[in-house]
Structure 1
Amino acid sequence: MIKGSLVQFSAFQDDLSAVAQSPFPEWLVSLAPQLENWLKTQQHGELKAWLKSVEQLPLITPTEISLGDTVTVTNNQIQPGQQARIEGLLKQLMPWRKGPFDLHGVHIDTEWRSDFKWQRVAPHIGDLSGQHVADIGCGSGYHLWRMLEQGAEHVWGIDPGQLFMAQFLAVKHFMPKELQQRAHFFPLGIDDLGPLQCFDTVFSMGVLYHRRSPIDFLSQLKQLLRPGGQLVLETIVIEGGEQDVLVPGQTYGKMRNVWFIPSSKALMHWLRRVGFKQVECVDEGVTELAEQRATAWMEGQSLADFLDPNDNSRTIEGYPAPRRAVIIAK
């Protein structure tokens, strides 16, 4: 049993109970000790304050829920004072990078218009009804709610980002109980998971280029899937053939943790090498400035600052500008 969090919140208890009742209760053998260790040793210095902001959010029964492009929770009787309190507390969790959300009239205009990405992905993933779906590197969990909209039975978000976890819990706080019981977040990385071989669909979006060993990462994703399961992989690519891979210098688009950017053809070749079948690139295109930009909820630099001001087809370092592909593999 997990005890002793920095502040009292029951997210892990509820999620561990969901694992126990899932088709893969054996995950508890590794998961429970990992979370217990995390609670004792891994907290970010600001986590206590972030979770306190989540705790202080008012309890408001929703009258309308939409898991559409803007994930929306509404009560048409909300008072202006409650709305102002919600906005103030949610701003304690800035920067908000993945969304957008509208929580009782407070519109969180996130850095990324993650709905743009979902519109590229959703037509190709099939029916998720009844599935247990994992999102590796889920950020604040925006796409978890979209996966529930698509029919998933349970969604399991994995991301070591503790601010992301607080943001997920803030959104979850306003959801009805039925949805809360189906959406889960663990502040872990893929290296903590092992070969579970249990998920029907695994998503990994915007993660591959941050991994020092992309082939090992693809193998880890495969080992999370049950036999016959589906991988949905979204990542930055370059144009080129099966052998074309960009290895940036110290930074790519001012990001220091970018290691390998393959062409989509090279990436599909890698996926086949690690044992995936029916590998298909279903979407590819350049990231537009409207999709990633600074906002009142993310006031730092964004895509426009990462590109050559005289040539938006190149990064500030002179590399090809971000081009993103969606690949589906069985």
Structure 2
Amino acid sequence: MTMADFDWKARFGPIINELAQDGLEHWANLLQQQLVHGFEDRPHGDLDRWQAALNRLPNIEQVEAQLNRTAITLNAPEPLPLAQQEQLEQGLRGLMPWRKGPFDFFGTYIDTEWRSDWKWERVAPYLSDLSGRRILDVGCGSGYHCWRMLGEGAGRVIGIDPGLLFMFQFFSVKDYLGDVAVDLLPIRMEDLPADLETFDTTFSMGVLYHRRSPLDHLLELKGTLRRGGELVLETLVVEGPEGFSLMPKDRYGQMRNVWFLPSCETLLRWLDRTGFRNARVVDVTETTTEEQRSTDWMRFNSLQDFLDPNDPSKTVEGYPGPLRATVIAEKP
């Protein structure tokens, strides 16, 4: 395998051209520069291995997808021969660990670490109709929620996440579906041009607490939205009055990069101060070891290892256990 086996120009050329044709030439040009830097100037050492795993996936024609059920499901016209089933599983296991899902590839079920479908079912009842909307999914992981958005009729979905393994997991689905209006860009939020003002809905789920400056993140999110656009924000919170937030001394649930866990009232104040309107908390749910856990497709430590074994209502560091809130707000 050589670096040439991953052809980033073929992968991302269509979305770069689309952005330019949609009047977003500045974003298209910037994105091309970022991809050159990421894949040519400083390539990732595991790209060859992940591309090899992707190449193992069998060629299957006339694939149909079901995008509005628990698992993102790909179906073939006929059951796969045993040799293809084995080839498929070998390729998919080469893309482990699978953290966000689940997925069902022609009968091979990927039981991911996270039951991302649970989060979607909590959020979906409160969304505006996604039909025809242009959507940005920040920190999209493997793209599970991007596919659910398309399944709800979205006109265009762009996910961003710098994790290159997530990108290959996304390709494992998209390569079977062909020219569909979903793309994953391997970039960070701060890599987007400021004040794009082009998306009808922007999702940021599981990102805010990883930001050193949560208010700047909210302002960046607002800049992606057109006037009247909708923000869907999901983040870790703690119980407490307005003005209260928890800043861990070092780690939270063994995670180093956790900065601020606000109370719900504080989060609403942050949204108000950053210029959003009609912000409302639509769901608050404790994360359990049924929703996040180790599986045969993600064999590393998971939530059960990050909680106090003597008091699972607390993290191993003694902080309140993970509580997640979903907030929806609009850009004036």
- Alpha-carbon offset, residue 31 of structure 1: 1.8
* Structure 1 residues 135 and 183: CA distance shift in structure 2, 3 A: same
Aligned residue pairs, count: 324
Q: Which amino acid counterpart does residue 258 of structure 1 have in structure 2?
A: V
The secondary structure found in structure 2 opposite 1:279 is strand
Say whether the 8 Å CA contact 2:215–2:270 is kept in structure 1. yes
Alignment of 1:133-212 (within 5 A): 133-175=135-177, 177=178, 180-195=179-194, 196-212=196-212
Provide the secondary structure at the position in 2 that maps to 1:285: strand
Structure-2 separation of matches of 1:62 and 1:324: 40
Q: CA deviation at 1:301?
A: 0.6
CA distance in 2, matches of 1:83, 1:152: 32
Q: Bigger CA drift: 10-19 or 23-32?
A: 23-32
8 Å CA contact 2:53–2:90 kept in 1: the answer is no
Structure 1 residue 25, shift from structure 2 partner: 4.6
Query: Does 2:51 match 1:70?
Result: no
User: Is 1:128 matched with 2:141?
Assistant: no
Deviating beyond 6 angstroms after TM superposition, the runs of 4 or more aligned structure 1 residues are none
**3-state DSSP class of the match of 1:278?**
strand
What is the deviation of 1:65? 1.8
- Shift, 1:28, TM fit: 1.3
Structure 1: 5+ residue stretches without partners = none
Q: Percent identity?
A: 49
The answer on whether the counterparts of 1:14 and 1:181 sit within 8 Å (CA) in structure 2 is: no
Aligned partner of 1:240 in structure 2 is: 240
Deviation, structure 1 residue 32: 1.9
Whether 1:8 aligns to 2:10 is no
Question: Structure 1 residues 42 and 181, CA, compared in 2 at 3 Å: closer, same or farther?
Answer: farther
After superposition, the Cα gap between the structure-2 partners of 1:159 and 1:5, relative to the gap in structure 1 and judged at 3 Å, is: farther
Structure 2 CA distance for aligned equivalents of residues 171 and 119 of structure 1? 21
The amino acid that maps onto 1:186 is L
Closer/same/farther in 2, CA of residues 287 and 199 from structure 1, 3 Å limit = same
Give the alignment of 1:228-267 within 5 angstroms: 228-267=228-267
Q: How many Å separate the matches in 2 of 1:221 and 1:15?
A: 21
- Counterpart AA for 1:201: T
- The structure-2 alpha-carbon separation of the partners of 1:193 and 1:127, relative to structure 1 and needing over 3 Å to count, comes to same
Unaligned runs of 5+ residues in structure 2 are none
CA displacement 1:9-59 (0-9 Å, x = unmatched):
622112223323446454213222222222212422101210222133222
Cα distance between partner residues in 2 of 1:69 and 1:219: 33
Q: Which stretch of the first structure deviates more once superposed, 94-103 or 121-130?
A: 121-130
Letter in 2 for 1:184: D
Q: CA deviation at 1:62?
A: 4.1
Using the alignment, how far apart are the partners of 1:212 and 1:121 within structure 2?
25
CA shift, 1:174, in A, is 1.9
CA contact (8 A) 2:113 2:294 kept: yes
Preserved CA contact (<8 Å) 2:160 2:188: yes
2:121 to 106, 119, 122: 119
- Residues 8-47 of structure 1 correspond to what in structure 2 (within 5 A)? 8=7, 10-22=10-22, 24-47=24-47
Whole-angstrom CA distance in 1 between matches of 2:243 and 2:99: 33
Contact 2:197 2:227 in 1 (8 A): yes
Q: CA deviation at 1:5?
A: 5.4
Task: For 2:128, give the aligned amino acid.
Answer: G
**Contact map agreement 1:98 1:112 (CA 8 A) in 2:** yes
SS of 2:234's partner is strand
1:112–1:62 CA distance, 2 compared to 1 (3 A) = farther
- Alpha-carbon distance, 1:310 to partner: 1.4
- Contact conserved, 2:159 with 2:184, CA < 8 A, in 1? yes
| TM-score, with structure 2 as normaliser | 0.94
What SS does structure 1 have at the residue aligned with 2:278?
Answer: coil
| Counterparts in 2 of 1:42 and 1:328: CA distance versus 1, 3 Å | farther
Distance in 1, matches of 2:24 and 2:193, equals 13
- State how 1:303-318 maps to structure 2 within 5 Å: 303-318=303-318
- 2:110 counterpart (108, 111, 128): 108
Superposition CA RMSD, Å? 1.5
CA contact (8 A) 1:289 1:303 kept: yes
In the alignment, the residues of structure 2 paired with residue 5 and residue 25 of structure 1 have an alpha-carbon distance, to the nearest angstrom, of 27
Q: TM-score, normalised by structure 1?
A: 0.94
Partner of 2:53: 53
Secondary structure at the counterpart of residue 277 of structure 2:
coil
CA drift of 1:171 comes to 1.5
